[in-house]
Structure 1
Amino acid sequence: MAETSRRTRILFAAIAVMVVGVLAAGGVVWRDDILRTRLDPKVPFQTYDPPPAPDYARRESWSLLPSEPQTWADDDPAADVFFVGPTIYDGGAHWNAPIDDERSDAFFRRTIGPNYVGPFVRVGRVFAPRYRQASLYSMLTLRDDAREARRFAYGDVRQAFEHYMAAYNHGRPFLIVGVEQGGTLASRLLAEEVAGDADIRSRLVAAYLIQTAVPADAPPIPLCTSPTEPHCLAAWMSAYDGDRERAQQLRDRSLVWTSEGELANLSGPAACYNPILGQVSGAAAPARLARGATNATGLEWGARPALQTRQISARCENSVLRVSRPRSAAFRPTGSWANQRKMPGYNLFYGDLEANAETRLNTLMADPDFAQAARPILEGAEVTDSPVHRID
């Protein structure tokens, strides 16, 4: 009897170990699905009640805004930068993020600002609107609700840009920079607000759409075919050499705007700008030409990060910018599962973008036909020394 009882205990222990093993294996296999389910708002977008709309006449509706947005000082940069940020809100409670979400704001201040706004602060005053961005969950599903959330987000970005143009631009040269989801929204902005307006188009230094799909055969404005020309579009999606799965996902799952203002799957080749070469090109860019990558996460705003040169090479292949894996451990994914699916906390092309934006601005400003902006005179305005930008 005792021997039978011992065998029974051993059998149950073995079964328990097997069950735990199966559950653990299932957790690994279905981990992504489990975490996606946690981020699902679980309400159809058609019946969803979105957060309150931002008022772009108020400072709190901007992540970055000059101290005196309606005018500028002699030592301010010569241009402006309208920056549309990427997905920083995980999801769960909303399809579209409230603009006062504290975790999202912290991620912008710590990661997005230093790494992706940073390359452009030497050429322009930065205007970065907070907008009701589509959540990270909307990037992880092909449901129609997710596309509706992105279309909804565009309404905020368009209003922010129109307010910037009417209240703050005053004829100044400007750049549009969009990252990931923000790049897709900026692409539509170029088509609807810039391409058809000769005056606005004449002041556009360039548009940089980072990790953004743009149809190569139908871009909203002409693609940058040289490293110096202004008024052009630099757009690319990248994957590391050997990462075939990501390259395939970029080609199969990327959404672009149709002429009817709908989001549809990319059906043809995508534009592929090589930041190291400063142009759309099929040529390979060796690491010796790269001007410097950086991990600026957590860096104090306004401080220029140290750049690491010769970290990467890059070439365009089948609509995807194939990038060699950097040697430094500073350029490895970190953070939570959700954060690793957002823009990484480093910028491999920081130095290339910084130098190229300055070159294009200099080309535009040197054009004798370019009309220089006249600084507005504000009644009762008192000019004092103050920081160029601030992160609220």
Structure 2
Amino acid sequence: MAKHKTAPAAKFLLAIAAVIVLILIAGVLFTSNQGTMLRWAFVPTHEIASEDQGTAPDYADESAWAARPGAESQATMLPEGVVQTMMLPEVDVFYIHPTTYMSKDRWNAELEGDEAAVRRRGNFTMRYQASAFNLAGQVYAPKYRQAAFGAFFDESGQGVQAIVRAHADVLAAFDYYLANDNAGRPFILAGHSQGALHTLLLLAERISPIPELRDRMVAAYIIGWPVSIEGDLAALDDIGACESAKETGCVISYQSFSKDGDPSSLLEMFAKTPGLNGKARAGTTMLCTNPLNWHVGGKASREANLGAIELLPDPGPISAPIQGLTGARCGQRGALYLTEPPQGSWREFLMTGENYHGYDINLFYMNIRANAAARAKAWLEANR
């Protein structure tokens, strides 16, 4: 497929979404005092214009991918005790990883320049996130010059530029994948946090405008990134929220909080920021897909949890699934509340407001694994 140019309208959507990143993430994760300290600790002090961007990834080179079929990667791992049944070779998964670059040395990470970021990309994002989709199809996960963690706290506008730079790589990777690897197969889009933002933008810039791609998209898992039903999804052509476990061509999204968590910062910023339609999202509905039953606004007991996976920072195998770790319910304003929020190591990376953001996929790993495969099978059955 020929490479597409980004239309002016798509560029406008990208600019809006980048602004949302800066305002929303800072408001969700930290108080104002914490934000000040984090700006000091993580926001680069040099001008982004002075930064050497380096060579853009060559996605024809296997080394530009964190995962792709035929190459060894942690995206192919399985939890202990889980036997890989027949993977669906007729379906692809295009997964975009979240932020792993925490240094203030650069606005945009080099692909291999920071050892800690590279370890997190493998040990966390491939091992615990991309692997959740490897039953549904072949996983393609591009490396990209991600925006640094500090870009999300910048107030100068340079953080926006860093996010735009990162997204240019994601677009190039997706275009290369479509032209050289996809061969007309159906595909799943998946991303978490910064990766989920890029996934949402791919919907606007590539999938929504092209009927053929809309028809071949099994689903988009936009996890750990807020999506407005009226302000974001309504701006897309024929792409809405998934209402059931086997619906295809639709979007899944949720944000995980403790049973008594406080999502007020998330909700406040959600209301104040514009959606993909360019209008304020105040009064719109934040999509909450319950990953235990795949209903919008749903509630499910812990018995529906097929297995959570403990997040272990050191390299090694994926531990065995923990069945029934927690139930979950969608609140009236769009947050997903854990009915039995796990303790111990599950709180090591907890964010302000009792936000389990870092565990969004781990908490429901086996449900996501089963659902992605079920949607892929449903698409194949409907389109053979």
User: Same fold by TM (over 0.5)?
Assistant: yes
Distance 2:266 2:216 in 1: 32
Q: Does the Cα contact within 8 Å between 1:115 and 1:345 map onto a contact in 2? A: no
Inter-CA distance 325–112: structure 2 relative to 1 (3 Å threshold): farther
* Residue 381 (structure 2) pairs with residue 366 (structure 1): yes
Distance 2:248 2:67 in 1: 25
Choose from 240, 243, 249 the match for 2:258: 240
CA displacement 1:151-193 (0-9 Å, x = unmatched) = 2211111110000000000011110001101101110101111
Tell which deviates more after alignment, 230-239 or 249-258.
Answer: 249-258
Distance 2:356 2:325 in 1: 23
Task: Name the structure where strand makes up a greater proportion of residues.
Answer: 1
Inter-CA distance 257–192: structure 2 relative to 1 (3 Å threshold): farther
Note the C-alpha offset of 1:305: 4.2
Aligned to 2:243: 225
Distance 2:228 2:377 in 1: 28
Distance 1:75 1:289 in 2: 23
Unaligned runs of 5+ in 1: 1-28, 372-392
SS at 2:68's partner residue? Answer: strand
Distance 1:186 1:193 in 2: 10
Inter-CA distance 345–175: structure 2 relative to 1 (3 Å threshold): closer
**Paired-residue identity, %:** 28
SS at 2:253's partner residue? Answer: strand
Aligned to 1:11: none
Inter-CA distance 256–348: structure 2 relative to 1 (3 Å threshold): farther
* Residue 126 (structure 2) pairs with residue 126 (structure 1): no
Q: Does the Cα contact within 8 Å between 2:93 and 2:137 map onto a contact in 1? A: yes
Inter-CA distance 45–300: structure 2 relative to 1 (3 Å threshold): closer
Moved over 4 A (4+): 29-32, 254-257, 298-301
Aligned to 2:325: 311
Inter-CA distance 358–300: structure 2 relative to 1 (3 Å threshold): farther
SS at 1:118's partner residue? Answer: helix
Inter-CA distance 140–342: structure 2 relative to 1 (3 Å threshold): farther
Choose from 153, 158, 171 the match for 1:145: 158
Distance 1:352 1:326 in 2: 17
Distance 1:229 1:299 in 2: 37
Note the C-alpha offset of 1:239: 1.6
CA displacement 1:198-231 (0-9 Å, x = unmatched) = 2112211111011011111131421101111111
Distance 2:188 2:256 in 1: 22
Aligned to 1:384: none
User: Please, what TM-score do these two structures have when normalized by structure 1?
Assistant: 0.75
Note the C-alpha offset of 1:147: 2.1
Inter-CA distance 256–51: structure 2 relative to 1 (3 Å threshold): farther
Larger Rg: 1
Choose from 62, 65, 69 the match for 2:68: 65
Distance 1:314 1:75 in 2: 28
Aligned to 2:364: 349
User: Please, what TM-score do these two structures have when normalized by structure 2?
Assistant: 0.77
Aligned to 2:44: 41
SS at 2:362's partner residue? Answer: coil
Residue 150 of structure 2 aligns with an amino acid whose one-letter code is Y
CA displacement 1:252-287 (0-9 Å, x = unmatched) = 345666347xxx97543321111111132x232111
SS at 2:300's partner residue? Answer: coil
Residue 287 of structure 1 aligns with an amino acid whose one-letter code is R
Q: Does the Cα contact within 8 Å between 1:333 and 1:344 map onto a contact in 2? A: no
Aligned to 1:271: 287
Aligned to 1:378: none
Tell which deviates more after alignment, 139-148 or 56-65.
Answer: 139-148
Distance 1:241 1:341 in 2: 11
Q: Does the Cα contact within 8 Å between 1:51 and 1:96 map onto a contact in 2? A: no
Inter-CA distance 238–346: structure 2 relative to 1 (3 Å threshold): closer
Note the C-alpha offset of 1:342: 7.7
Q: Does the Cα contact within 8 Å between 1:118 and 1:304 map onto a contact in 2? A: no
Aligned to 2:57: 54
Residue 64 of structure 2 aligns with an amino acid whose one-letter code is S
Note the aligned Cα RMSD (angstroms).
Answer: 3.0
SS at 1:295's partner residue? Answer: coil
Inter-CA distance 265–236: structure 2 relative to 1 (3 Å threshold): farther
Choose from 110, 130, 137 the match for 1:98: 110
- Number of residue pairs aligned between Structure 1 and Structure 2: 328
Residue 324 of structure 2 aligns with an amino acid whose one-letter code is R
